[in-house]
């Protein structure tokens, strides 16, 4: 059976000819054929992509469910806690500093009237994380938001600092997920509702930048963790999201900028900063939509298309943008790299000339 009813279409053109005898059939048909072709070029790829995208789209409800957020005592994590509590979720916050945790609980109370719970643990310590998660109770939405960053060239950076970054950002995420996963699976099966594991990466987890060697390595690792994990938990109705925020106005960014090498500031200086509340809103929307890749601004969307690779995709429209935008985004990426390498050349010549 043809996709379009051909006999009815021909009758339609005959009727038009009778109504407008002064116009030829070909002159009337051309615009309609162009429109038909345009529709086919959109509908057919969308139909194919809607069949191919996996996991299938779902909505992750928050009301009445348990949301546990690591790194939730400040910045994006605290904003996520307030938004989640405002949406009716039962919120637990995990971080190291007890005093800041207490302040965060009070901030959530003032903003929403809800009572968040706080748990102190170092994500590098699996046993401490396991005990905190056990005390918090079964989790429906796990947001691995913790992270540290100290920008420095690899040659100059102390290996203990590199190890600290990797252990917090990457191993800390492994610890948190491993501790929460068994009860998450059981609870998802018990309730019949989809659960979520969200991992906070960075745009530096999509593209490496000068002096971000340790940080980018840890954040790129989260992408691999998320892709493999989605295969492992999809049968348990658990959906993985990886969030890629840009520089965000947080206490952590303020500290980072004090140590950021001059050349790094030149390269990343063209990128704007986002407010923590805005990043949290984008992140939570992506989590609730069960999207795998969650960009937070226009630049992030371009990066996500350019680096989509073999990552899962739940949206046929987003898949369409990736399929047809990949070539152009690759060209744009080469333009960015040309600009960055030019900045490195210019800076290096300037520094060597002043010696």
Does the residue 210 lie in any domain? Answer: yes
Please tell me the distance from the alpha carbon of residue 112 to that of residue 128, in angstroms, as a whole number: 29
Does the residue 327 lie in any domain? Answer: no
Q: What is the per-residue pLDDT for 350?
A: 86
Does the residue 134 lie in any domain? Answer: yes
Q: Which residues does the annotation mark as catalytic?
A: 201, 215, 219
Residue 24: pLDDT above 90? no
Does the residue 227 lie in any domain? Answer: yes
Phi and psi dihedrals of 346, rounded to 5? Answer: -65, -45
Residue 9: pLDDT above 50? no
Q: How confident is the model at residue 1 (pLDDT cuts 50, 70, 90)?
A: very low
What pLDDT, in 10s, does the model give residues 227-257?
Answer: 999 999 999 999 999 999 998 887 777 777 7
Nearest one of 96, 194, 201, 191 to 141, comparing CA atoms: 194
Does the residue 168 lie in any domain? Answer: yes
Does the residue 184 lie in any domain? Answer: yes
Please tell me the distance from the alpha carbon of residue 208 to that of residue 303, in angstroms, as a whole number: 12
CATH number of the domain that residue 234 is part of: 3.40.50.720
Q: How confident is the model at residue 47 (pLDDT cuts 50, 70, 90)?
A: confident
Q: What is the per-residue pLDDT for 282?
A: 97
What pLDDT, in 10s, does the model give residues 262-300?
Answer: 888 888 876 678 999 999 999 999 999 999 999 999 999
Does the residue 36 lie in any domain? Answer: no
Q: What is the dihedral of CA 162, 163, 167, 168, to 10 degrees?
A: -40
Residue 304: pLDDT above 90? yes
Q: What is the per-residue pLDDT for 16?
A: 47
260 is in which domain, residue-wise? 66-305
> How many domains are contained in the chain?
1
pLDDT mean over 6-21:
51
Please tell me the distance from the alpha carbon of residue 135 to that of residue 52, in angstroms, as a whole number: 40
pLDDT mean over 208-212:
93
Q: What is the per-residue pLDDT for 271?
A: 67
Mean pLDDT of the chain: 89
Please tell me the distance from the alpha carbon of residue 241 to that of residue 283, in angstroms, as a whole number: 9
Cα–Cα–Cα angle for 84, 87, 91, rounded to 5 degrees: 35
The residue written with tokens 């800390």 in the block is 172
**What pTM does this model have?**
0.86
Minimum mean pLDDT range among 1-10, 23-32, 333-342: 1-10
Q: How confident is the model at residue 31 (pLDDT cuts 50, 70, 90)?
A: confident
Does the residue 279 lie in any domain? Answer: yes
Q: What is the per-residue pLDDT for 57?
A: 87
Residue 7: pLDDT above 70? no
Q: How confident is the model at residue 158 (pLDDT cuts 50, 70, 90)?
A: very high
């Amino acid at each position: 059976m043809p996709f379009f009813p051909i006999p009815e279409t021909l009758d339609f053109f005959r009727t038009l000819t009778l109504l407008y005898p002064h116009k030829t059939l070909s002159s009337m048909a051309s615009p309609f054929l162009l429109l038909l072709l345009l529709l086919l070029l959109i509908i057919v790829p969308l139909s194919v992509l809607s069949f191919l995208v996996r996991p299938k789209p779902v909505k992750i409800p928050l009301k009445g469910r348990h949301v546990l957020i690591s790194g939730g005592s400040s910045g994006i994590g605290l904003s996520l806690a307030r938004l989640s509590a405002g949406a009716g979720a039962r919120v637990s916050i995990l971080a190291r500093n007890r005093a800041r945790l207490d302040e965060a609980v009070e901030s959530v109370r003032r903003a929403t009237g809800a009572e968040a719970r706080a748990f102190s643990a170092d994500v590098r310590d699996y046993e401490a994380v396991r005990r905190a998660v056990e005390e918090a109770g079964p989790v429906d939405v796990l947001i691995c938001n913790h992270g540290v960053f100290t920008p420095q060239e690899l040659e100059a950076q102390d290996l203990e600092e590199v190890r600290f970054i990797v252990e917090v950002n990457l191993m800390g995420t492994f610890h948190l997920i491993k501790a929460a996963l068994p009860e998450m699976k059981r609870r998802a099966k018990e309730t019949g509702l989809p659960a979520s594991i969200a991992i906070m990466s960075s745009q530096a987890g999509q593209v490496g930048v000068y002096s971000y060697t340790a940080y980018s390595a840890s954040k790129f690792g989260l992408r691999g963790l998320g892709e493999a994990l989605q295969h492992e938990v999809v049968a348990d109705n658990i959906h993985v999201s990886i969030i890629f925020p840009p520089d965000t106005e947080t206490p952590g960014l303020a500290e980072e900028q004090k140590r950021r090498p001059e050349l790094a500031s030149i390269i990343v200086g063209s990128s704007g900063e986002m407010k923590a509340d805005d990043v949290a809103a984008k992140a939570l929307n992506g989590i609730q939509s069960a999207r795998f890749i969650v960009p937070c601004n226009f630049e992030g969307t371009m990066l996500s298309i350019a680096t989509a690779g073999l990552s899962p995709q739940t949206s046929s429209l987003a898949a369409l943008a990736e399929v047809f935008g990949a070539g152009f985004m690759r060209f744009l990426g080469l333009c960015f790299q040309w600009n960055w390498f030019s900045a490195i050349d210019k800076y290096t010549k300037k520094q060597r000339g002043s010696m």
